[in-house]
Structure 1
Amino acid sequence: MDLILAHKRVMKVCELTGFSLIIQTSIATAISEIARCAIEHGEGASLKLGIDGTATRKYLVARIEDSIDFSLKCQEALNYAKRLVGNIEVIKTPKGIQIMMKHLLNFSGTFTPGKIDSYADYFKNEPAISPYDELRRKNLLLQEFADKIRDSEDDYRTLTDSLPLMMFTLNNRGQLTYSNKWIEQFLGIPPKEITAAAWQNIVHPDDYATFNRAVTAALQKATPLKGQYRLKEKGSGNFVWHMITALPLKNEKDAQVKWMGFMVDIDAHRLAEKTLKDNMDLKEVQEKLFENQQELQTKIVELNRSNYELEQFAHLATHDLQEPLRKLFFYADALKTKYHDKFDASGLNMLKNMTNAVSRMKELITDLLNYSQLHQQKLDFNPVDLNVTVQDILKDFEITIQEKRALFDIGPLPLVNGHALRLRQLFSNLISNALKYSKKEVVPHIQISVSQTDEKFVFLVKDNGIGFEPQYKDRIFGLFERLHTRDQFPGTGIGLSICKRIVELHHGHISATAVPGEYSAFEIELPMAAVVN
């Protein structure tokens, strides 16, 4: 509907500004071709029509602009439009793309602001139209043209070639006796080769049987042929909907002598029909959704209340559990220190196991509290220098690094727009895992690097540790997921879950790859919008 309206308004503007009918059609067709591409490949294109220039030279100007560059996908349409208008310029701007089309005005009058405002008022008050009405007007226009060009074959050829329609004439045997240049350009077949058999390769297989019956009946009965069929376009190989009309023409003796016809691209019209049907289906769905809206809102209120209560419970539970754990740890340590001589080896081992259990419980509660806070928290982003962040983390692990004699290979890292504390927690967890899951008797070697694509930065944290089986690459990010026993490697199984949530809060993605016994690698993708140059 937008495409049809654009065509109609351009035609009217051309009429108001004094262009001939042929020039009107050429300009409107050129603009419609670009508009069709903008509708198909753009995101929110707009068309503006106006008058520009100096006091002595005025131009009719059409500007189609969009936030994305759709011109790469419509080069054929641009070339076609340039053949019709000529003065077309593609301008790329920081906000997107503009396609400017200009045509010199021959109108001798004066274009005052009041006159231009009257044009705008006309379009504001014009009645609504339908796609069918637009096609009907084109058919009437073509009939008028056909009557005017009978007397001159040269004029006929010039005129038909200037129209953006495929026009032809047939003899009584159905053979093509004349065609304008658009038929060969669209079909990619010389007119002499368009025989009755050739149409089977031109018309869509699903439409051919109906098309063949209609043509046969029209030729036998000398009745008009009218129908909508899909024709194969040479350039793209796509089938495009066309309205095909062929009218029998008689001589002065009322004898049938030939057929004259034309094929009009109605792909936009068919698309409008399909969109209308889809909108009706959508309306039914919307009505059903509206019926459930109240129930949904009630459930949302209940869910919000439940989430709030769960947040309060998690906060209180984690804090209330800390106090008895501290007492258990204190009394266990006091027993071990004050009554060390009164315990045998078995008793001391029990105290040790109790202390370790308390430490694991405290670590688990702390990790749970951190994970819970991530789901509740809305992060405020600020510039964060990851070079400084990683160096601070290495200082925190200085003792472990010295004990394991770990080696680090860290490349230059960018300035990231994010939450400093959470990004530090992210890289701290990954470095901690790399140190923790290192191989015995092998010096840990940890690499941290970054690469850049058009839309994102990709950070890589890779080690030469024990690795893991490939089937666990998604599972390891789950809550409480562990691939080893606590006797082998300590931990709660929450660290990577926290990493995953932090990356998601920064609108990114984290993934893992590994080879058992060779290495583990964690890849963090952050969109360019989250990075400060």
Structure 2
Amino acid sequence: MTADEALLSPDALPSRHGYLLAALVLVASLALVAIYATGAGTRERELAQARLAGEAEQVVARLRQQLLTYELITRGGVSLFATVQAPSPQQWRHYTDGLELDRRFPAMLGLCYAEALSPAALQELQLRRRAAGMGLFNVDPPGARAQYGPVVLLEPRTIANINTIGFDMLQEPTRAAAMLAARDSGAARITAPLQLAQVGAGRGLVIFAPVYRAGIVPSDPSARAAALAGWVCAPFRLDGFVEQAVADAPGTPGLRIVDIGDGVETLVYAHDAALAPGKHAAAVTHSVEEQVYGRRWRLDFHQVRAGNGGSALLGTQGTIVLGMLASFLMFAVALSLARTQSRAQQIAARMSESYRRSELRFRSAMRFSAIGKALLDRDGRVVDANLALANILRASPEELMGRDFQALFSGTGDAAEERSRAATGSVYRVTRELRRDDGELRHVLLTYAQVPGDVGQDVASLAQVEDITDRVRAEAQINALNRTLEARVALRTRELTRANEALESFAYTISHDLRAPLRAIDGFTRVLGERHADAFDDAGRGYLARVRAATARMGELIDALLKMSRVSRGELRREPLDLSAMAADIVADLRHGDPQRQVDAQIEPGLQASGDSALVRNLLNNLLGNAWKFTRGRERGHIAFHRVEHAGETWFEVADNGVGFDEAYAGKLFRPFQRLHAQDEFVGEGIGLASVKRIIERHGGSITAEGRVGEGARFRFTLPDDAGVG
């Protein structure tokens, strides 16, 4: 073969085309470098401007996020007023301590509540605080006004914050404007820059969130003033706020924030680099206006560009040289590609045969699959379908050819499918309905997947059809059962609420309505005994004494019943408890009250639990007090408080060697006023163990009792650490 024949052979043509392509790449690359060199300066400035705009957007987003966080903190305070009608200073302190303002938000001076008060309401507040022993509440500045907005709650309790209590924010115009705007809009509002009320705090801002009575914002704006209860406010320093928001932002440009909300420019914050934007000739600037909780801010950004007129690293000339080197490098790569082109053609021929076999395996797997499948073209028409799909649709595969696949189903619209496709990418699933010719409605799950292949082929996607009718019906039944269960829970909750209300009413009746006749009986019998004693013989005077003793006993029973009812009410406050130390204190009190008794008390050290301190002390006082009382007939009593293993769990046990009880009547021990011993033998109201059981159940625990007549008793109980009972 001659040289000319070699150049004209089919194998030589790709190589020659490759050389021509390499030359074109070199020429095009050099032309691009030349074009770049002509406009490098302009592009560099535009790039710097775009970079500054991007960095400014990041800073604005961080400032916006920081302000949103401050708003959420104040909204949390508003939510506290929605759950608790009038939070106490301790509740406000607990909420603020949980926020960890000093660590997480050092720019925030605290979280306060300013109450909206009329003159009469202010006087009532002062009397109420004086009656609670909180001292005199003074309003600053003093004087008579139609409306007051003094700070009544402010945490954390720093010296500056304590001195701010009583400051009337409504008397300062800047604060009043934001407070009234928050009241009328029902949303959080921020002040213009002002001098903060805390001594030495400097200039800052205050964000106000309105608090309405009943925790609901009135829909009618005209009714919001009457429904206003006060404002939750968060004062913060300007410099600390901005520095915290952009502290970790890389390459933060110079920043100047100006408040333009009132038509007058008021400086909010200024960084040193932003004070003199004309200092550098190569400087770029960018301004953004933002609506900030009722105010309008302008953020001016300033940054100095590199002075080499081109790339910050190489400059224009260096970039041109680098572009030329890259051009020659691409030329070398193009030559290398030309040499490997012939090798790639040989590999492509082998891959074509492999692709043909892969295509055959794919179609065989689809046709004999137990799940309905169809191949669709780019218009969504059926190109091929298997027997499983034909069985679901009640049609032969031949009848399905060329039909619009979407038209075979109904249910979910195209918009839903487009959202599902956008969310999941190349593979997405939708649920549709299938109405068969016999009228039966079936639910199917369609799975679409793109089929990779050559450009122009007739197959574009694979659709998989699964009949999920039985699953949908089962889910509907489960949802119906869940709704029924929710209704039952709501019914039981209402019944429990009514029962608690009835218990409250019963306790009130006992406390107030029964004591009056008891006092009358006791008073008249006492008068009879004192003034008309001579009219009675010894038996009559004895009867009067018994009547007075019975009324005293009934009064004690009323006190015991009220005491037991209080155990079931009130907030349960869990904290770590040292049961050993608590039991030792109780035993010491028992010894002090009955020093003649000889009782051995063994208390295991290191007994720890979690619970309400007052309730658990009441529990131990009843159990240890009963053990002390019922060992009175022993020559030497023995009481033990220790930890035991029972039924695979760890229990606390109080044991004694007292008179014990018949286990046949153990069920009566924890019922109110159920006694297994006579009153003249062992005094008591029969309420102690009932209170013990209620205390333990409130902590999510349980209690059991064992005993034998004449051999003592054992009471075991648990106090789970993770119980959510309250």
TM-score under structure 2 length normalisation: 0.32
TM-score under structure 1 length normalisation: 0.42
